[in-house]
Structure 1
Amino acid sequence: MDASDWLILAALVVCLVASSFFSGSETALTASSRATMARLARDGDRRAGLVNSLLDARERLLGALLIGNNVVNIGASSMATGLLLAWFGEVGVVYATVIMTVLVVVFCEVLPKTAAFDNPDRIALLVARPMAALVRLFGPVIGAVNAVVRWLLARAGIVIGESAPILSAHEELRGAVDLFHREGGVEKIDRDMLGGLLDLRELTVADVMIHRTDVIMANAADPPEKIVEAVLSGPKTRVPLWQGTPENIVGVLHVKDVLRALHGSDGDFSKIDVMALARPAWFVPEIRPLSEQLKAFRRRRTHFALVVDEYGEMMGLVTLEDILEEIVGDISDEHDVDLAGVRTQPDGSVTVDGGVPIRDLNRVMEWSLPDADATTIAGLVIHEARSIPEPGQSFTFHGFRFQVLRRQRNRITSLRITPLTRRKNALVVRAG
């Protein structure tokens, strides 16, 4: 081989290295985490800022990558073909085709893209500066190519930039959290907390409130000792006070206020003026989103509100703790009453109280029962059955069998839920 052959071989190697660089850069930049780059840029990493700038101008980036990659690949193939033709004659074309295919596929495509896909963020930071320089260098050519491409796509009825994403930002974030959980990068408790935080905008106060049938209230007309007993015996620190009818809430009694007054009267209940201790009740609509209610709790510096419907009737109460439990899960202290709500049976079925919220059951059992049309598990059964079932009746829907165990008046108080091996779409009703 003479000096010119060595020069061609050196240029060929340079083209192959450049092709590998372009292929790896394309994979690393497109697969890099936007969240990671945004965080690094906030911390002062200039390379992360370049990556963000390149990804913001994605058309120019892809144009530079494609132009650079095709130029070096075509150049390498041409030089290899010419060199092997000079060495082996016409059969050199076959040799050049085989050799260049192997070199390009293995060393210029699979190898760099695999390495970049395995560690995209680090490699994206490494190639950020040279890629930014290449984008500026190829700027005029890229602009002309993009203009032609846009014109051709417009003739085909495709307008760049008009397509809307399939999922919203919240849904994409939720999908990413679920993906990381399946891959083992996020624990279940962290996934549930992040999911609960994202759900605050979608849930309303009615989804987490304590229903009025379970609210402990006190009658303002009762003797003071009976009212004090009702306040101190309940699990909440605040108790609504009604007068005339339970719907007529005239105030809210705080345990601390009652204890302070009881101490000031030396334990004499007759000296306590209950109405003077009552604080004004705060009423909120049941359709208010939890995210707004959380902000309202912070603004008013209170943790307790009464929930009313569109007619002004009291539906229940909501506390700051109820909202926080949607994020961090159940919060219990030494004064909470441990109510039996979910009990797993040896046969694989689960006995559930009718008032257990569907969201809590899904979180505990990792199920996916729908909660759009009902808040509690009893409400879901009534919604699907389109009736108030009798004890002993069974219903099959959403991949589970629901058997009604007990009912008090019009309320389902206990059910047995059995997961099925295969999902059934039709609602099957069997009288017990």
Structure 2
Amino acid sequence: MRIAPSMACLIVATILASVAGAAEQTPRTNVILIMADDIGYECFGCYGSRQYSTPNIDAMAAEGMRFTHCYSQPLCTPSRVKLMTGLSNARNYSAFSVLNKSQKTIGDYFGDAGFRTAVAGKWQLYGAEHYKPRFRGKGTLPGDAGFENFCLWQVDRLGERHKAPLLQIDGKNRQFDKSHYGPEVACDYLIDFMKRSKDEPFLVYYPMILVHNPFVPTPDSQSANKKQKQRNFEDMVAYMDKLVGRIVTTTEELGIAERTLILFVGDNGTNKKITSQLNGREIQGGKGLMTDAGTRVALVALQPGTVPAGRVCEDLVDFSDMLPTTLQAAGAPVPDGLDGRSFWPQLQGQTGTPREWIYCYYCSRPERTKPSRFVRDQRWKLYGDGRFYDVANDVLEKSPLQQVEAGSAAAVAKQKLAAALQSMPSEGQSLLQFDR
């Protein structure tokens, strides 16, 4: 039977309209990116710790995916700048506490893609009142970084972060009394945002206030003794985990868990004043150091029905990878020119295109310090000054390999890493350059 041209056109139009309608009805994936402050991989039960209580993050790992080789920058602002822009510090980091105004961030990208956006916790990217005048106000405000809703500590003012916090909420500073706990206020804010936005696609960026020093008792601590730094830190880890659990539970209660990707990560290694036990080994916090103690962090992903349960991934993950990964997960355009590589395929149980190496350029105070840099894979690590380590067997980096046998695994790795190091910028920038 022949179909008249007009009827054929009508059928095609009907099919296309049906497909388009189905696409419009398919909910877009929400993204919740949670980043704890100053905590290395050694402080989580799912990574082998028996010292710390992290049942909610452990449950995320059991029901989702845990990564064993995620690497941050050694310090907070460098990590945040890298995570939010998908670029190496060598390209866009110019001063501590500053996110250059020229940078396009995760908030901008998600906002452009039609997502509601919120951030709560710690900002420290504008150059607050307590920094030297040459850095003060030279960074970026949250509203100018693509976030329409925000509840943040240390935007333009300092103040307390724990009990009786000073927080900037949607552009206005608010001083809370002693009955309020800053980390709880930030979490409450995000939960309220999620409830209001449950029928729309959203991005929640949660750079947590915990577990950064000062190490003080939490509302759940049995002792109010501020001098028990180790005990208080352990309590802060437990409270941090509790807040993460509240976020996860909220997605379940709102019926949006299956269309919400949750990533949990730490921003750098643990404070040097903290000592932890892991698998019979004592680990001193390495914040600020280029070793594993300063750069190796936990990364756990959860999205029921999408992220395979109980999976452990040994692929390399760099902080610049967070932006392209979350954008791809949300079905938003991924810009060209990023240093990051998406691991969204791995989160779906696929092979993806794993990294062969990561590059870390670190210069915490460009106006007065010299940069350090390294390239590494899961086992081998090559510094810009030529030091070469078998980190898997020398995690403290005490014995650089002076000579490697031609054709050996070490020699092959060193050649690969040397080429990678050569491919990346060796010099960064300083905010003071822009003021001349």
The question of a shared fold, defined as TM-score above 0.5 by the shorter chain, is answered with no
More helix by share: 1
Asked which structure has the greater CA Rg, the reply is 1
Normalised TM-score (structure 1): 0.23
More strand by share: 2
More contact order relative to length (CA 8 Å, sep ≥ 6) = 2
